[in-house]
Amino acid sequence: MVVVGGGPAGATTAALLAREGVRVRLYEREQFPRFHIGESLIPQTYWTLKRLDLLDKLRASRFVKKYSVQFISGDGKESQPFYFDKHNPHESSQTWQVLRSEFDAMMLDHARQQSVDVRCGDRVLDVRIDEGRASCVTVKNADGATETVDCDVVVDATGQTSLIARRLNLHVRDDVLRKGSVWTYYRGAYRDSGRDEGATIVARIQGEQGWFWYIPLHDDLVSVGAVGDFEKLFTPGATHEEIFHRQLSRCPGIERRLAPGTRANDYFATKDFSYTARQFAGDGWVLVGDAMGFLDPLYSSGVFLALKTGELAADAITSALDAGDTSAARLGAWEPMVRDGYGRMRELVCAFYEGFSFAKFLKRHPHYSDHVVSMLIGDIFRDDLDEMFDSMQTMRAEMMAPAADE
């Protein structure tokens, strides 16, 4: 069994398979710890982290505790934070803001401890797929040598590299969510106190279909980034620094928080990041995490989907191996459920960009407040959530106001 990629999706799949007695080799092209964006977890990550026995390590870590998410309107008006435990008074309602270099290294070490054979510095160059069935991978080892390794199943956890989906032309870009992002890190910026210290802040940018994230991390660091339509964001000739500060000047809620701080890292940028694969599994191969699909980071769903699909894929592979049948149908049996959940989250993302006001929606339909919070915590694999989208659809038509407050 080969897993390609040692991020949260690959580490989860590999660890759970190894626990079932499957011999797993994991190839990761980087040496860990390595930098990665995607620092805000959502409450539903709890269940996979619990199953992996990682909760004690997280509790003992220095990661900032996150209890809520707060929205700020374009003119700087702050909503009441959405406290997750109001919806569900369970310890899963507290989650974490993680420095990904440390979190990912923790997860990969944990996989090693479950007997996964982790090979860092080894890049998988190709997955051999003949007549739809994967049979082996070609690997360039850290010492420069190339080898071919046979495998019964290949798990593609290569993140946005999305090795198999691109190779098989299964990669479908989301043309509605053509966004980009520019971000950096500040030290000494404003932090709320008590349980609000670790809130994720989502602040709309004035007069644009864009927003800032503000994610407090440990060591007094804050991750802060702007997201927007990428043609408008990446204006010709503008540096990432210029873009960041142009957007900041249109976002008073974030500007005033950053004022006492100093920049503590470079500017980073990425574009065109929402997509899905047309097919999540084939004969002898499975896609997990970002290799399978990625949705705009508005609701911080990326690491959750990486952990969840890692878990679903590991269970599917274990039963496929037991049955001696590693066909696409078995390995991807979970695909419809994940597509539905992803689709619900996507609807919420699109509504936000249209200027949909959840505050007005909940005033008219207060009985849907549990549905909205369920979505915010990542409890998205429930068919009963769909009735809310019918009511939202009616209001979306009426309320497409450009600067709706949250």
Ligand X SMILES: Cc1cc2nc3c(=O)[nH]c(=O)nc-3n(C[C@H](O)[C@H](O)[C@H](O)COP(=O)(O)OP(=O)(O)OC[C@H]3O[C@@H](n4cnc5c(N)ncnc54)[C@H](O)[C@@H]3O)c2cc1C
Task: Catalog residues that contact ligand X under the rule CB under 6 A.
Answer: 4-10, 27-30, 36-40, 123-124, 157-159, 161, 163, 181, 225, 270, 273, 289-291, 294, 297, 300, 302-304, 306
| Least Å from the CB of residue 40 to ligand X | 3
CB of 201 to ligand X, least distance (A): 12
Those residues whose C-beta lies under 8 Å from the C-beta of residue 385, and which sit 6 or more positions away, are 344, 371, 374, 375
Supply angle C-alpha 227, 232, 237, rounded to 5.
105
First to last CA, the chain: 47
Output the smallest distance, CB 107 to ligand X, in A: 9
Contact 120, 6 (CB under 8 A): yes
Minimum CB distance to ligand X smaller for 221 or for 392: 221
Contacts of 99 (CB under 8 A, 6+ apart): 39, 63, 217, 218, 221
CA dist 314 and 318 (Å) reads 6
Choice between 83 and 211, CB closer to ligand X: 211
Q: How far is the CB of 140 from ligand X (least distance, A)?
A: 9
Closest CA to 41 of 60, 64, 61, 71: 64
Q: Which is nearer to ligand X, 14 or 388 (CB)?
A: 14
CB of 170 vs ligand X, minimal distance in Å: 16
Closest distance between ligand X and the C-beta of residue 284, in Å? 18
Torsion of CA 253, 189, 83, 250, to 10 degrees: 20
Nearer to ligand X, 22 or 233 (CB): 233
- For ligand X, the closer CB: 164 or 388: 164
Nearer to ligand X, 205 or 392 (CB): 205
Give the residue among 68, 92, 98 at the shortest CA–CA distance from 373.
68
